Amino acid sequence: MGITNSVVTIVCNSTLQTYGGDLYIAIMTIINSIREIAQLPGQGMANACQPVLGYNYGAKEYKRVLTGIKFVTIVSFIMMFVIWLAITLFPEFFIQIFTHNQKIISHGITSLHLYFFGFFMMTFQMVGQSTAVGLGKSKQAIFFSIFRKVIIVAPLTIILPKFIDINGVFIAEAISNFIGGGACYITMWLTIGRKLQQKCKEEAVCIPQH
């Protein structure tokens, strides 16, 4: 994940320098700082669920694992949605945490709105990856980290500005939230979730009826 983030940062800065110059590199630096803070609650919940899911999976409490995944998804989504709403409604407040330069603020508001559009969809990326790691499917988690950053964000960051100018760099992240987050979570349910449901049914059949 660290490597993929570095790749995207290099591509973003290079593209921003070409189409927007130092002003937009400064804006992206601020936006990335806001994102690092904004995603902490959701990422914290997702990371914290790993040992709980792993323990219950090892104990063959498959129903608890399913319940845990649903609980973490709902709670994380609510937190991320509230944070996204706050950033969308009060963009100037968040930018002013880092700078009072009016030029950066005026240009940064539009960029912030574009970048954070659909930010709450990151919930599904976080929960999907953390569930995979917690249940020993780390290859799946690694794939979707690469998929979102390297396969979606990096190419779109290069391609979109050719058609819609500098805004394309910020829209690329928003698109990846929907495609990457959706693909990661749906795949998690179709693979891990389906197997857990099957195991729950098998256990129900094996339990003696009184």
Indicate if the pLDDT at residue 203 is higher than 80. no
Q: What is the average pLDDT across 195-204?
A: 82
Q: What is the average pLDDT across 121-141?
A: 89
**How far is 200 from 134, CA to CA, in rounded Å?**
18
Nearest to 48 by CA among 162, 126, 137, 107: 126
pTM for this predicted structure: 0.86
Phi-psi region of 43 (alpha: psi -120 to 50; beta: other; left: phi over 0): alpha
Q: What value does the mean pLDDT of the chain take?
A: 89
Q: Are 176 and 153 in contact (CB under 8 A)?
A: yes
Confidence class of residue 205 from pLDDT cuts 50, 70 and 90? low
Indicate if the pLDDT at residue 190 is higher than 60. yes
- Position of tokens 């693909």? 183
pLDDT (tens digit per residue) in 3-40: 777 888 888 889 998 888 889 999 999 999 999 999 99
Q: What is the average pLDDT across 129-141?
A: 87
Q: Is the dihedral of CA 16, 17, 22, 26 positive or negative?
A: positive
